[in-house]
């Protein structure tokens, strides 16, 4: 009882101190977290007067909202220095933009104040371990994901649970008032089994309860769980199946397309030059950057300097979402009538695109109007003749003219070999004949490049004039030992003769890709709510498994894309998407 009174007195003193400090921002501290005033949000529908790009160029500094108490993303050390993954990422972005070593001003935000400070213009961007949640999409905009975190369950080592269903009729611990509590509630809503939930004030108390067998598992961000169990990792195990994704992205003001494009292009540039991997190794105990779901557009180019970027803001003259609701139609470019002798790869890609569009339209309760497409379908979106274009490659050459969705398909150059072959790569192809398709002359250059990398001399090529002959020239005529071509062209042969042919893979079963090309949808530029509708629906198609079914004829199951799902409601502007 005495201990309880002491605890109550300490808690009351802390609350009184907190209430007295809300009116003014204090100097940064390590613990407890600095109290930052809550700011009222301006009208979320007000259009921006200028892009953050213009202001940053004018002032020569980018103001970055960052957390001071969220290791390994953002921390304030005893010397008053901001460090962590987010801090180094922001510094690298500013250096890439040509702002120099003093081009970043870090401004402390908290979980409660970050979004309001961004909307009010106190900061230009949030690099604050910010999870891209759908409820925030109505207030701010997000970059592409730069860190794929998630909510996970930790159990005692020796517990047999390997998937979420194994927690049926068991007890889960969670910290109250956190995103983890929402993740557990969402898990309960979708589960076909029941489990009970025990709430705790802190993660330490929840882990203590786990050790005492009061709960069977604890749900929290995987990063915080790994940190919490780091002192005795041999006593715990994190269950493989994830409770909820938590994609972390940079936050910026809504409909600031020039700044969003600059941020995304810079992230992709830093990924290509290996800087993201370096930063990750520095702050995640030498671990490789989790690159599996990171998407690269075509023509990223050299370092994007901010003073060379467009800064004009443009807004749609009309919005596709309103037109969709009023007419009950979605106008689609990019679907063409195929010739009777069209190769199998084109037929499969066409079936995928039509199936995807029909799935989107069905969930929107709309009919599809295919816009005749002769040239580039992106141009029809730019002109306003189409609401979206299907089957297009996200390309930086079109940035600012259209917006691109997350990709729904990946294809690229791969090696098709005999099923029993011991070939492991180009170093095993010395003196062997390599088949390449007549319309893929660039494949020869990739072969020679890969051969030089492993010090192999390869100069024996055989040209395959027709896609449908690839397996025949390999298995019957024995003209080639392997076929090197686009995965879309090879899939039909591998699926038709799985006992004889396969695509070269690593020892763990993952495919070896020599090039990667992404395919997505193009939508009108800065028509943010329509883009969100398309993105959410793609995510729900992936969540329900319908998108994976559509992809089976064109993508090997072991290389199925990791589809990012932003946590949040499946309802959007009256549409039921899930």
**pLDDT at 562 (0 to 100):** 84
Would the pLDDT of 187 be above 90?
yes
> For residue 45, what pLDDT is reported?
59
Residues 6 or more apart whose Cβ sits within 8 Å of residue 260:
141, 143, 252
In the predicted structure, residue 85 carries a pLDDT above the cut 90:
yes
More confident residue, 343 or 38: 343
Q: What is the mean pLDDT of residues 186-199?
A: 95
Question: Is 297 in contact with 396 (CB distance < 8 Å)?
Answer: yes
CB 415 within 8 A of CB 359: no
* Cβ pair 550, 356 in contact under 8 A: yes
149-244 and 320-409+525-542+563-576 in the same fold = yes
Position 31 pLDDT exceeds 80: no
Which CATH class for the 320-409+525-542+563-576 domain? Answer: alpha beta
Q: Exposed/middle/buried for 23, CB within 10 Å: 0-12, 13-18, 19+?
A: exposed
State the architecture of 149-244 in CATH terms: 3-Layer(aba) Sandwich (3.40)
pLDDT for the residue numbered 174: 97
Q: Where are the domains of the chain?
A: 23-37+48-146+249-308, 149-244, 320-409+525-542+563-576, 413-503
Both tokens of 467, joined, read 């896609």
Per-residue DSSP letter, 80? S
Residue appearing with tokens 């109250």? 176
Type and span of the H or E element at 211: helix 203-211
Question: What string of DSSP letters covers 366-395?
Answer: -EEEEPP-SS-HHHHHHHTS-SEEEEE--B
- Indicate whether 34 pLDDT > 90: no
Residues 6+ apart with CB under 8 A from 441: none
**Tens digits of residue pLDDT in 134-179:** 999 999 999 999 999 999 999 999 999 999 999 999 999 999 999 9
Structure confidence at residue 18 as a pLDDT band (50, 70, 90): very low
**Token pair 């995928």 is at which residue?**
352
pLDDT band at residue 22 using 50, 70 and 90 as cut-offs:
very low
CATH-assigned architecture of domain 23-37+48-146+249-308: 3-Layer(aba) Sandwich (3.40)
Write down the pLDDT at residue 9.
Answer: 44
Q: What is the pLDDT of residue 2?
A: 42
* DSSP state for residue 309 in the 8-state scheme: S
Which CATH architecture is the domain 413-503 placed in?
A: 3-Layer(aba) Sandwich (3.40)
pLDDT of residue 459: 78
The average confidence (pLDDT) of the chain is 91
Confidence tier at 493 by pLDDT (50, 70, 90): very high
In this prediction, residue 21 carries a pLDDT of 37
pTM summary value = 0.89
Q: Which residues of 218-257 are buried (b: 16+ CB within 10 A; e: fewer)?
A: bbbbbbbbbebbeeeeeebbebeebbbbbbbbbbbbbbbb
Share of the chain above pLDDT 70, in %: 92
pLDDT at 557 over 90: no
In angstroms, the CA 384 to CA 86 distance is 39
| Under 8 Å between Cβ of 423 and 429 | yes
For 398-454, write each residue's pLDDT tens digit: 999 999 999 999 999 999 999 999 999 999 998 899 999 999 989 999 999 999 998
Closest CA to 474 of 427, 435, 443: 435
Helix axes 275-283, 257-272, angle to 10 degrees: 80
CB within 8 Å of 263: residues ≥ 6 apart: 93, 125, 143, 250, 252
- Mean pLDDT for 267-296 is 95
Beta bridge partners of 247: 148
- Which of 12-26, 87-101, 539-553 shows the lowest mean pLDDT across its residues? 12-26
Confidence check: pLDDT of 202 > 80:
yes
DSSP 123: -
pLDDT band with cut points at 50, 70 and 90 for residue 509: confident
List pLDDT tens digits, range 205-255. Answer: 999 999 999 999 999 999 999 999 999 999 999 999 999 999 999 999 999
């Amino acid at each position: 009882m005495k201990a309880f009174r002491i605890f109550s007195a300490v808690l009351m003193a802390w609350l009184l101190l907190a209430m007295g400090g809300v009116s003014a921002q204090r100097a940064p501290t390590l613990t407890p977290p600095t109290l930052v005033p809550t700011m009222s949000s301006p009208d979320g529908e007000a259009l921006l007067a200028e892009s953050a790009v213009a202001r940053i160029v004018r002032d020569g500094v980018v103001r970055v909202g960052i957390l001071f108490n969220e290791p390994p993303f953002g921390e304030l050390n005893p010397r008053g220095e901001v460090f962590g993954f987010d801090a180094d990422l922001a510094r690298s972005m500013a250096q890439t933009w040509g702002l120099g070593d003093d081009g970043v001003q870090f401004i402390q935000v908290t979980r409660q104040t970050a979004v309001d400070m961004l909307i009010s213009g106190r900061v230009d961007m949030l690099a604050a371990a910010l999870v891209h949640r759908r409820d925030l999409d109505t207030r701010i905009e997000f970059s592409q994901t730069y860190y794929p975190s998630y909510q996970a369950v930790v159990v005692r080592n020796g517990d047999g649970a390997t998937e979420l269903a194994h927690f049926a009729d068991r007890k889960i611990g969670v910290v109250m008032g956190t995103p983890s509590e929402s993740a557990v509630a969402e898990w309960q809503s979708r589960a076909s089994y029941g489990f009970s939930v025990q709430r705790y004030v802190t993660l330490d108390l929840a882990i203590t309860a786990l050790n005492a067998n009061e709960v069977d598992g604890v749900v929290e961000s995987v990063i915080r769980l790994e940190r919490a169990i780091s002192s005795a990792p041999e006593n715990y195990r994190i269950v493989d199946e994830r409770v909820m994704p938590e994609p972390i992205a940079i936050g910026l003001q809504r409909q600031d397309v020039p700044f969003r494009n600059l941020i995304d292009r810079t992230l992709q540039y830093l990924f290509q030059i290996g800087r993201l991997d370096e930063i990750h190794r520095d702050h995640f105990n030498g671990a490789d950057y989790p690159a599996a779901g990171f998407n690269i557009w075509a023509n990223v180019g050299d370092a994007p300097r901010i003073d060379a970027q467009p800064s004009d803001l443009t807004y749609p003259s009309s919005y596709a979402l309103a037109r969709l609701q009023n007419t009950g139609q979605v106008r689609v470019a990019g679907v063409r009538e195929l010739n009777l002798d069209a190769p199998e790869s084109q037929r499969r890609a066409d079936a995928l695109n039509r199936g995807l569009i029909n799935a989107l339209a069905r969930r929107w309760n709309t009919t599809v109007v295919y816009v005749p497409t002769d040239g580039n379908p992106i141009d029809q979106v730019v002109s306003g003749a189409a609401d979206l274009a299907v089957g297009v490659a996200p390309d930086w050459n079109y940035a600012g003219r259209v917006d691109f969705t997350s990709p729904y398909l990946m294809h690229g150059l791969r090696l098709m070999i005999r099923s029993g072959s011991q070939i492991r790569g180009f170093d095993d192809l010395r003196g062997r004949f390599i088949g390449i398709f007549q319309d893929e002359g660039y494949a020869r250059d990739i072969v020679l490049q890969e051969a030089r990398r492993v010090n192999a001399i390869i100069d024996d090529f055989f040209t395959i004039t027709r896609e449908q002959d690839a397996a025949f020239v390999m298995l019957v005529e024995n003209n080639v030992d392997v076929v090197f071509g686009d995965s879309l062209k090879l899939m039909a042969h591998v699926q038709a003769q799985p006992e004889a042919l396969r695509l070269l893979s690593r020892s763990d079963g993952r495919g070896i890709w020599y090039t990667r090309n992404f395919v997505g949808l193009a939508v009108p530029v800065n028509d943010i709510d329509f883009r969100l509708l398309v993105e959410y629906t793609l995510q729900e198609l992936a969540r329900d498994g319908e998108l994976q079914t559509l992809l089976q004829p064109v993508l090997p199951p072991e290389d199925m894309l990791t589809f990012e799902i932003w946590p949040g409601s499946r309802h959007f502007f009256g549409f039921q998407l899930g």
